[in-house]
Amino acid sequence: MSAEVRATPILEVRDLAVSYGAIKALKGISIRLMPDEIVTLIGANGAGKSTTLRAILGLVTASGGDIRFRGEPTRGIPTFKLVRRGLTLVPEGRAIFANLSVRENLEMGAYARRTAARLDGDFEKVFGLFPRLKERIRQTAGTLSGGEQQMLAIGRALMSRPQVLLLDEPSLGLAPILVHAIFEAIEEIHRGGTPVLLVEQNANAALKHSNRAYVLETGSVALEGASSDVAANPRVKEAYLGE
C-alpha cells in the first residue's frame, strides 16, 4: 500500500451534528478511520457513540457536518446504497433474524450484493472465524446463546464483504471469555484487510484491541490519540478504566 493511500482516510467525519428535537446528541464531532486501522469510540451512556455510527450509515439524519467514505460525500444517500458501497453496521443488540436458521441469517447478509456467486467461499471465511456457527448452521438463530448470536451478527455483516465494518457494542452482555473471543475475531477481521470503527463501553478491551481512540463526552470529542496514550491518560483511567 502506498504512502499516499495510507495517508487518506477511508472514512472521515467532519463537524458532525445530530439533534433529537431540542436535544443536541452530537455537537460537531470530527473523526477519521484510516484503511489499516481499528478505531474505537469510548464514553459514557448518552455520549453520542451509537448516534455517530447511525449517522454515518444514514439511519439518523445529520443536521450539520460532512461524512466522506472513500473521499465521496455520503450525507443524503440511502442506507441500502451505502451498504452496497461497502459500509456495514453490526448494531447494538445484534438484531439477528430470530426465526431464521444460522445459514439463512448469513444468506441475508449477502442480500445487497450484485451477485450471489461464490457464497460458499464467504461461508467458509465466516466459519473459519466462528467454528461454532458451522456446528449450528441449521439451528434457529433465536435459540443460540448471546455470544453465538453476536458471532452470527458479525458473520452476517461479513457476508456483505464490507470495506468498512462498524461495530456497536459487540461485547455487551457477554461473559469475559466470550468478550475475549469476540475481540480476537475483530483483530482477525482487521488483519484480513477490513478497517473497523468500534463503539464499545468496555474501554479496557476497546483500547487494548485498537490503534486509535476517541473519547466522547455529551456529544463532543473530549480526547483523541493513540489507544495506548488514551489508556494512559489519568482522566480516562479514573472515568473509564476503573483505576
- Average pLDDT of the chain to the nearest whole number: 92
Spell out the alpha helix ranges (H) of the chain: 3-6, 49-56, 79-85, 102-109, 119-129, 131-135, 146-158, 176-191, 203-208, 227-232, 234-240
- What pLDDT was estimated at residue 4? 43
Domain residues for 113? 90-161
If pLDDT is split at 50, 70 and 90, which confidence band does 184 have? Answer: very high
Residues 127-145: pLDDT tens digits? Answer: 999 999 999 999 999 999 9
Q: Are both 5 and 69 inside the same structural domain?
A: yes
Range with the poorest average pLDDT among 115-119, 144-148, 194-198: 115-119
Q: Is residue 50 within 8 Å of residue 199, measured between CB atoms?
A: yes
Identify the domain boundary among 139, 161, 183. 161
Task: Decide if 111 is inside a domain.
Answer: yes
Nearest CA to 159 among 187, 132, 133, 197? 133
Q: Is residue 114 within 8 Å of residue 85, measured between CB atoms?
A: no
pLDDT higher than 90, residue 115: no
- What pLDDT was estimated at residue 243? 59
DSSP at 59 = S
Task: Decide if 112 is inside a domain.
Answer: yes
Q: Whole-angstrom Cα distance, residue 159 to residue 36?
A: 20
Task: Decide if 22 is inside a domain.
Answer: yes
Task: Decide if 190 is inside a domain.
Answer: no
Q: Are both 17 and 77 inside the same structural domain?
A: yes
Q: Are strands 64-69 and 38-42 parallel, antiparallel or unpaired?
A: unpaired
Q: Which residues contact 48 (CB under 8 A, 6 or more apart)?
A: 18, 25, 26, 29, 216, 218, 219, 220
Q: Are both 2 and 82 inside the same structural domain?
A: yes
Amino acid at 171: S
Task: Decide if 146 is inside a domain.
Answer: yes
Q: Are both 149 and 136 inside the same structural domain?
A: yes
Residues 70-105: pLDDT tens digits? Answer: 999 999 899 999 999 999 999 988 889 999 999 999
Range with the poorest average pLDDT among 91-100, 149-158, 163-172, 211-220: 91-100
Residues 23-35: pLDDT tens digits? Answer: 999 999 999 999 9
- What pLDDT was estimated at residue 234? 93
Q: Are both 222 and 243 inside the same structural domain?
A: yes
pLDDT higher than 80, residue 45: yes
Amino acid at 20: Y
C-alpha cell at position 198: 468500534
What CATH number did the domain enclosing 61 receive?
Answer: 3.40.50.300
Q: Whole-angstrom Cα distance, residue 51 to residue 60?
A: 7
Q: Are both 73 and 105 inside the same structural domain?
A: no
pLDDT higher than 80, residue 7: no
Q: Are both 75 and 116 inside the same structural domain?
A: no
Q: Are both 54 and 117 inside the same structural domain?
A: no
Please tell me the total count of domains within the chain: 2
Nearest CA to 67 among 53, 81, 86? 53
Q: Whole-angstrom Cα distance, residue 88 to residue 104?
A: 18
Average pLDDT over every residue of 137-157:
94
Q: Is residue 223 within 8 Å of residue 234, measured between CB atoms?
A: no
- What pLDDT was estimated at residue 154? 96
Q: Are both 109 and 137 inside the same structural domain?
A: yes
Task: Decide if 178 is inside a domain.
Answer: no
Task: Decide if 234 is inside a domain.
Answer: yes
Average pLDDT over every residue of 120-133:
92
Q: Whole-angstrom Cα distance, residue 210 to residue 21?
A: 34
pTM exceeds cut of 0.85: yes
Q: Are both 54 and 109 inside the same structural domain?
A: no
Task: Decide if 177 is inside a domain.
Answer: no
Nearest CA to 72 among 9, 27, 114? 9
